Amino acid sequence: MVEHITLEDRILLFDATVKLLTLLEERINNPPNDEPNVNLNSMLFRRVWRAALRCIGFTPAQKDDIVYLFHVDERIARELGVPIFAADWKYLWCIGPKPGVPDDLLLVSVSSQFGIL
């Protein structure tokens, strides 16, 4: 139901996701002494950022921010659908590539249509 989410909603959801990932990473790296973190582990952290990178509601630039902030391997990011040169998509808030589009076709289309990349 992506078409029912406004740009403001998308930004708020992205900010909440980044904050959640940041808090989760902090709790995993610095667990409280009196409380065991049985369920908070690197596997959960990996699942959450993978879900964020697969989210069709996030723009390519937002997904690239997640890749950068949480040190996700570029190869894994590409496998999860983050397009090539995703950081350069910052002005395209509603457009993302169709899954499985070849990189060369994507680069030609985007650069000719929008004068970027």
Over the stretch 47-70, which tens digit does the pLDDT of each residue have?
999 999 988 888 888 899 999 999
pLDDT at 80: 86
Residues in the chain: 117
Classify 18 as helix, strand or coil: helix
Distances from the Cα of 59 to the Cαs of 42, 56, 81, 88, in angstroms?
A: 25, 8, 11, 11
CA angle 117, 73, 16 (to 5 degrees): 80
Report the distance separating Cα 96 and Cα 26, nearest Å. 31
Mean pLDDT of 35-45: 80
Which range of residues forms the domain containing residue 58?
A: 2-114
Residue pair 55/99 in contact by the 8 Å Cβ criterion: no
Q: What does the mean pLDDT of the chain come to?
A: 81
pLDDT band, residue 22 (cuts 50/70/90): very high
The token pair at 23 is: 């808090």
**How confident is the model over 104-114, as pLDDT tens digits?**
676 666 566 55
- The count of domains in the chain is 1
Most confident region among 37-41, 58-62, 93-97, 110-114 by mean pLDDT: 58-62
Distance (Å, whole) CA 60 – CA 82: 6
What is the pTM assigned to this prediction? 0.75
